[in-house]
Amino acid sequence: MTEKISATLLELAKSAAADFAKPNPLGEFVESVEEEPGVTTFMWQSTHPGYLGWRVAAIVAHFGADEPATVSEVLLVPGVDSLFAPDWVPWSERLADYQALQAELEKQAALDAELAAAEGADLDDDDSDEGVSDEGSSDDEEDSLETEIDEEAEADSVEHHELQEDAEESGRE
């Protein structure tokens, strides 16, 4: 390929690549690769923020001096420093992984519940006096204490009433 043809092809490819890259400017020219006789790929660095490290490639077909060159394709190709998406994983495998994780989480939750129940039972065993309240007296003792207080209050009321009657009788005499 002569220099004149090469410069013409480069300008044609650059124009197509610049249109493709809009609204971002075309980066630095990287290389040209003759894919086969009459087909050359020209590459520039991509300046698109999501495609750093990628290249804008314009493929130009040229079959002689008397034939016009044409742009076959313009595309993004990964460069050496480009980021790639992870390998595709079929939905059935992703779902199986998710279900296995959920089953494991359910098992762990069940173990945690058993552990909490066992710890609660241990605490109950430490307080082996059934019916013991926080104050340290049993429910039966509390009931009897309340009964005593009620009886004393009733006795005081009766005594007070009797004293009033005595006072009234003294006042009549």
The full DSSP string for 116-172 is HHHHHHHHHHHT-STTB-TTS-BHHHHHHHHHHHHHHHHHHHHHHHHHHHHHHHHHH
Distance from first CA to last CA of the chain, Å, rounded? 149
Show the tokens assigned to 91. Answer: 């939905």
Whether 132 is in a domain gets the answer no
pLDDT mean for each 10 residues of the chain (173 residues) = 74 95 94 92 93 94 87 93 82 90 95 89 62 54 67 67 63 57
Whether 163 is in a domain gets the answer yes
Give the pLDDT of residue 87.
Answer: 86
34 and 96 in a common domain: no
9 and 69 in a common domain: yes
144 and 119 in a common domain: no
Whether 31 is in a domain gets the answer yes
114 and 47 in a common domain: no
